[in-house]
Structure 1
Amino acid sequence: MTPIGAVDARAAWLLAATFLIAIAGLIYELIAATLSSYLLGDSVRQFSLVIGIFLSAMGLGAWLSRFVDQAFSGFVWAQILLGVVGGFMGPFLFLNYAWMGHVETPLYAALITIGILSGMEIPLIARVLEQIGARKFRFENVLSVDYVGALVASLAFPLLVIPHLGLMSASLVFGGLNLAVAGLSLFLFRNWATRTQVVVWAVAFAATMIALWHSEKLVSVAEAELFEDDVILSEATPYQKITVTRYRDRVRLFLDHSIQFDSLDEHRYHEALVHPAMSLAPRRADILILGGGDGMAVREVLRYPDVQSVTLVDLDPRVTQIFRDHSMLSQLNEGAFNDPRVSIINEDAWKFLERDTRIYDVTIIDLPDPKSISLSRLYTRQFYGLVVERLSAQGLMVTQAGSPFFARQAFWSVVETLETSRNPQHPGQGLNAVPYHSYVPSFGEWGFVLTSPESVPTRDIELPEGLQYLTSAVWHAAQEFGGDMDRIAAEPNTLQSHVLTGYYLDGWDYWFR
């Protein structure tokens, strides 16, 4: 007969194990969702798919647990398999994407496997508790501990796991956690353990620790396949994956594996974005830039000597930090972030506009493409209404608007959205918009929209010295659209509709999927 103290100790361990495996299970789900949004785009769609598939698989696992005759043995095997599948999910998916170019099938296969195994855990633990005769056992206690573990995981993932581990190492660390649970369970229930379980556990644990030890090398191998050039900086922040590559004097920035600029041609993009608005603005003392954490747009703004202040709002503090402090990267923006006229605010653009009370002469919107609903909201009537409230009576604002060639309907949806946004100077009317485009080799044809509550000036632009691309003639030509880029019907983007994300994804998928 098992002593009561031993029963209580093992029961306490099983409840603690429930807490730990709940953390690991949700971390795997979040890793899968984040990886799918990194590699497949459209974070809202991917998170929804991952959550739905994972929960369905958990339900299937809970049902399948009834067919497991030996509850303890089934629990240990579930932990070992979770440690292997969940632990190596991150490295496998990154390397598979780098070598094979696709990730959907292995990602969802791993997710279903992890979901089934996770769904089996609670029923099996409950049966083990009953078998050992745990006093005061109640099934709701197990569920309560499980839910608390899920809460801890959801808080730890953005605050601790991603900033300090990254996705690949995090996957291995929490695989090791499942294996540690299996190992301690085998020790505490050694009279129920089998030699096969112990041997397989030892091999799996050793393999996981070796992989974790070499995780940086695995990251380097994956990134060497993903990117053409040498990776000089690679970090995961709570907001995105930052990668900077270099080949000789050529530097490129990638956020979530999407290119943001190439130092060979970024001048074409940033000169086209900044100078029409700056040149045509009646006054340009106070400038607001939303996005543009690389500092390139700030560099162009500072070419005008009458600029008194520049406020840059970018969500990710790590991006602005490296482009301020990294010696090579700060050279690209000519040390713009160290200019005393420049203030950097790391905050969501929408929240900033809601609390800000300043009035700006020019607002430059250099935000990521609207490939998800979270980004699409920054291209809505409601958002532009907030922007224009912070604009002076004759002020100008300009936004990057994607490709009028690859995502034609998305581009003209941005134009339509601006033209139907609230005009505080002329109630009942929309804003005045001038669409234009520029060829940027890294992106192809790229579009912008210059906007004002009043009529946009039509005079020639007077440009500062030192530009490499933009001229008055180029500016006038940029306002002409060929037949395959000219205006087509598109609905305005609103918080209710979010049509822009669909237009954007459909356009790019047509060309590149």
Structure 2
Amino acid sequence: MSDTPKDSGPAPDGTGPRVSPREVWLLTATFLVAVAGLIYELIAATLSSYLLGDSVRQFSFVIGIFLASMGLGAWASRYVRDALPGFVWVQILLGVIGGFLAPVIFALYAWTGEVELPLYTMLIAVGALSGMEIPLIARTLAAIGAPQFRFENVLSFDYLGALAASLAFPVLIVPHLGLMSASLTFGALNLAVAGLSLWIFRAHLSLAPLALWTVAALATGLGLWQAERLVSLTEAALYEDDVILSEDTPYQHITLTRFRDRTRLFLDHSIQFDSYDEYRYHEALVHPAMALTPAPHNVLILGGGDGMALREVLRHKVKTVTLVDLDPRMTALFATHPDLTALNGNSFADPRVTVRNQDAWTFTETSDQSYDTIILDLPDPKSLSLSKLYSREFYAILTDRLASGGVIVTQAGSPFYAREAFWSVAATWETTRNPYAPGAGLTVIPYHTLVPSFGDWGFVLATPEDPAPRPLTLPDGLRYLTQTTWEKAQVFEADTARIEAEVNSLRDHALVRYYETGWEKWFR
């Protein structure tokens, strides 16, 4: 870049080459743009896992496509004749495309249902522009005569920026900004880099980038000012009812909606309960297992951070209940929000209850306690990270924590919409080793019931010992489950009856494939 002034010469004290302010700025800019670039990548990966499911696959796709796009951008940078103006243009374009990544994708999802094509198109654009940054900065540093310029110094600042972004994203950015504001904030960061570069090198840049920068900065500022309104408008289009809470946590996106006296919970935009009919699901999940356990004094619940299953467990004469849920915000919300504690009977305040905010696998593997009843109220197995909690390996760990005569029950999805997935869960339990009868499997009772919010929903109950054939002893005050209901629940119609399905294991995760195939047939 022939018109860029060189900043060479000795330091004032004569001890070595002088480090110019422009060189310091360009290395600082390298750090800042690396932070912004990785944040865009993480936002895209999180959006795809929220809206498309299967977080492992989506994160893998996003990372691969982003890195490939960066390679394309690095290659294309050779065709940028003047490095400094090119770098400024790249920052402005990143500020616009990266900054409006989340708002555009959320809006398109809400109003059209389309996610993949726009998401990956914008991701490729952001990746290509990000790939151009380092070559252009390196060329600019060389052009200004940076003393003893070394390309690895630029890469070091780039990698440090990526590290800072990866640490800050789950701990600070998502919980405090949310995806919409985070996207716009880091778009503003790219625009700030462009603006400072325009000022520092003002004598050597034209007015054209300044004009576009001004428009982009105004649009981004407006977007940040109206970020909460943008979220509200998007979610109003997504949900039928009024959104009373919308919050990103390091683990998921929590949304609560209300219409009159009806409350619904959505995690990552998938419904978890409707207060009109959640009692059907939770009574069916909890009470058969509790009733078939001879003495259900110590109970373990995995998942169930809304406290609804806990509410049902506390109807029985239990001594202790341990609830393990990964997301501390989830359990805190349902333990303190007055509208929500009314739904779960203020169950978290019961002195018999202990809450552990841990990964279910880690807790179970490291626990030295035994439990009379274990209840798995976990999200559907739509990703590898969730499928592991439906695997034969995890089930074997659970049976080691089960007291003699104990019972385990899990929600197992819909035997109608995802028939193979449901029966895969049953087959997995049947082939899980029996700790009290080496060489034998477990006794399994599959059953299902109608939950209007979900459709035909299934559960699998497993026990090392054949339960005695006796009527269920149920607590007073149930709204749905009776002995007759329980007997009918164990009958499957022809289109939901048992079919052959593979056992789910960590080696092949057959359940994820069954789950995706089943639901996509109906809803994609």
Q: Normalised by the size of structure 1, how large is the TM-score? A: 0.99
Residues 57-136 of structure 1 mapped to structure 2, 5 A cutoff: 57-136=69-148
CA-to-aligned-CA distance 1:426-465 (integer Å, 9 cap, x gap): 1111111110001000000000011111113332111111
Conservation of the 8 A alpha-carbon contact between 2:23 and 2:141 = yes
Residue in 1 that maps onto 2:14: none
Q: Secondary structure at the match of 2:247?
A: strand
CA positional deviation for 1:55: 0.7
Q: What fraction of aligned residue pairs are identical, expressed as a percent? A: 64
Q: Choose which of 445, 451, 462 in structure 1 pairs with 2:456.
A: 445
CA-to-aligned-CA distance 1:215-240 (integer Å, 9 cap, x gap): 00000000000011001111100000
Q: Secondary structure at the match of 1:87?
A: coil
Conservation of the 8 A alpha-carbon contact between 2:6 and 2:145 = no
CA positional deviation for 1:144: 1.3
Distance (Å, rounded) in 2 between the aligned partners of 1:484 and 1:458:
27
CA-to-aligned-CA distance 1:320-342 (integer Å, 9 cap, x gap): 11111000100001111101111
CA-to-aligned-CA distance 1:173-205 (integer Å, 9 cap, x gap): 000000000011111111121111111111111
Residue in 2 that maps onto 1:388: 399
Residue in 1 that maps onto 2:517: 506
Residue in 1 that maps onto 2:62: 50
Q: CA RMSD in A?
A: 1.0
Residues 224-239 of structure 1 mapped to structure 2, 5 A cutoff: 224-239=236-251
Are residues 1:405 and 2:416 paired? Answer: yes
Are residues 1:465 and 2:476 paired? Answer: yes
Q: Choose which of 365, 375, 389 in structure 2 pairs with 1:378.
A: 389
Q: Which runs of 5+ in 1 are unaligned?
A: none
Are residues 1:139 and 2:180 paired? Answer: no
Are residues 1:255 and 2:270 paired? Answer: no
Distance (Å, rounded) in 2 between the aligned partners of 1:508 and 1:458:
35
Residue in 2 that maps onto 1:481: 492
* Counterpart code for 1:314: D
CA-to-aligned-CA distance 1:49-96 (integer Å, 9 cap, x gap): 111111111111011001110111110000000000000111111111
Distance (Å, rounded) in 2 between the aligned partners of 1:391 and 1:167:
41
Residue in 2 that maps onto 1:167: 179
Q: Choose which of 338, 342, 348 in structure 2 pairs with 1:327.
A: 338
Deviates more, 1:381-390 or 1:245-254: 381-390
Residue in 1 that maps onto 2:15: none
Q: Secondary structure at the match of 1:44?
A: helix
* Counterpart code for 2:80: V
Conservation of the 8 A alpha-carbon contact between 1:31 and 1:90 = yes
Residues 300-339 of structure 1 mapped to structure 2, 5 A cutoff: 300-304=312-316, 306-339=317-350
Are residues 1:22 and 2:34 paired? Answer: yes
Q: Secondary structure at the match of 2:204?
A: coil
CA positional deviation for 1:358: 1.0
Residue in 2 that maps onto 1:454: 465
Q: Choose which of 370, 378, 390 in structure 2 pairs with 1:367.
A: 378
* Counterpart code for 1:127: R
- Return closer, same or farther for 1:121/1:3 CA change in 2, 3 Å cut-off: closer
Residues 192-203 of structure 1 mapped to structure 2, 5 A cutoff: 192-203=204-215
Conservation of the 8 A alpha-carbon contact between 2:285 and 2:459 = yes
* Counterpart code for 2:399: V
Q: Secondary structure at the match of 1:165?
A: helix
Q: Secondary structure at the match of 1:198?
A: helix
Conservation of the 8 A alpha-carbon contact between 1:230 and 1:246 = yes
Q: Choose which of 439, 448, 452 in structure 2 pairs with 1:428.
A: 439
* Counterpart code for 1:420: T
* Counterpart code for 1:327: P
Distance (Å, rounded) in 2 between the aligned partners of 1:197 and 1:476:
73
Residue in 1 that maps onto 2:296: 284
Deviates more, 1:43-52 or 1:235-244: 43-52
Distance (Å, rounded) in 1 between the aligned partners of 2:461 and 2:360:
19
Q: Secondary structure at the match of 1:191?
A: helix
Distance (Å, rounded) in 2 between the aligned partners of 1:2 and 1:59:
29
Q: Normalised by the size of structure 2, how large is the TM-score? A: 0.97
Distance (Å, rounded) in 1 between the aligned partners of 2:204 and 2:401:
70
Q: Choose which of 170, 176, 197 in structure 2 pairs with 1:158.
A: 170
Q: Secondary structure at the match of 2:202?
A: coil
Conservation of the 8 A alpha-carbon contact between 1:7 and 1:133 = no
Distance (Å, rounded) in 2 between the aligned partners of 1:133 and 1:358:
67
Residue in 1 that maps onto 2:351: 340
Deviates more, 1:173-182 or 1:425-434: 425-434
Q: Which runs of 5+ in 2 are unaligned?
A: 12-17
Residue in 1 that maps onto 2:45: 33
CA positional deviation for 1:368: 0.2
Aligned length: 512
Residue in 1 that maps onto 2:276: 264
Are residues 1:207 and 2:211 paired? Answer: no
* Counterpart code for 1:96: L
